Structure formats: structure tokens, C-alpha cells
Amino acid sequence: MDVIAKARELGKAIQQDERFIRYAKARLANDDDKELQDAIGEFNLVRMELDREVNSDEKNDDKVKELNEKLRKVYSSVMSSPAMVEYNTAKAALDTLVNEINVIISKSIDGEDPDTCDTSSGCTGSCDSCGGCH
């Protein structure tokens, strides 16, 4: 058995999975959403301006506060756009699939039966509560 060939088969199977297809469509929809792309561009410009101001020798605290507020508003706009909400939802579903696959691989390497090993990793998705990756 060629392990690399099996990995390629797994890659093909992932690309045919509904979670991957949904993610790929959402990613393309984001790329094609001019309003969203403009908002992301604005976010990046404001972030760069904020970085310059924070690192300036003549830092203006009022300007920093103003830019922080503007950055929060633009970020909120980006993250609440329907295309970005769909993208994040689709990405979370795909990430769950990839995590389950990684758990099976890791447990198989540890000698567990790949057909019966538990695929739950206990991962909450928040690194704040994490004791380390599995």
C-alpha cells in the first residue's frame, strides 16, 4: 500500500465533500463581492494608518482613539456582511472535518484502530482554553 497515494485519494475525497464545496463557493463569493472587497481594503488601510500613528514619535492619542473606533466599525461591517458570515460558517464546518481527519491520523500513529478511534478531540475552537493541540 502506497501511503502517499492514499493521501492523494483522501485529498480528492475532501474536495468532493459538501463541506469543502460549500467553503470553496463561499470563498469565491467573497472574492467576487466588490462591496466586501472594498470594505476589506478600507480595513487594511485604516489598520496601516493606525499602526503608523501608534508607532509615530509624535503619537496623537486622540487620533489613535479615532482610528481604533473607525477600525472597529469597518471590521464589524466586514464580519457582518452576508458573504463573510457564510464564508466563516462554511470554513468552520470544513475545519471540523479537517480536525476529525487529523485526530484519526494522530490516533492511528499512536497505535489506535482507525476504524474505531474516537474522532472527538475536545477542541472548543478557542485557544484560550486549550492545553495544547492533540
Contacts of residue 99, defined as CB under 8 A and 6 or more positions apart, other chains included, come to: 121, 123
C-alpha cell at 50: 493606525
Over residues 27-55, the mean pLDDT reads: 96
Over residues 65-93, the mean pLDDT reads: 96
**What are phi and psi for residue 55, nearest 5 degrees?**
-90, 5
**Phi-psi category of residue 107: left, alpha or beta, with phi > 0 → left and psi -120 to 50 → alpha:** alpha
Place of cell 469565491: 28
C-alpha cell at 60: 496623537
Mean per-residue pLDDT over the chain, rounded = 91
**pLDDT-based confidence at residue 43 (cuts at 50, 70, 90):** very high
pLDDT at 121: 63
Place of cell 501608534: 54
Place of cell 463573510: 84
The model carries a pTM of: 0.77
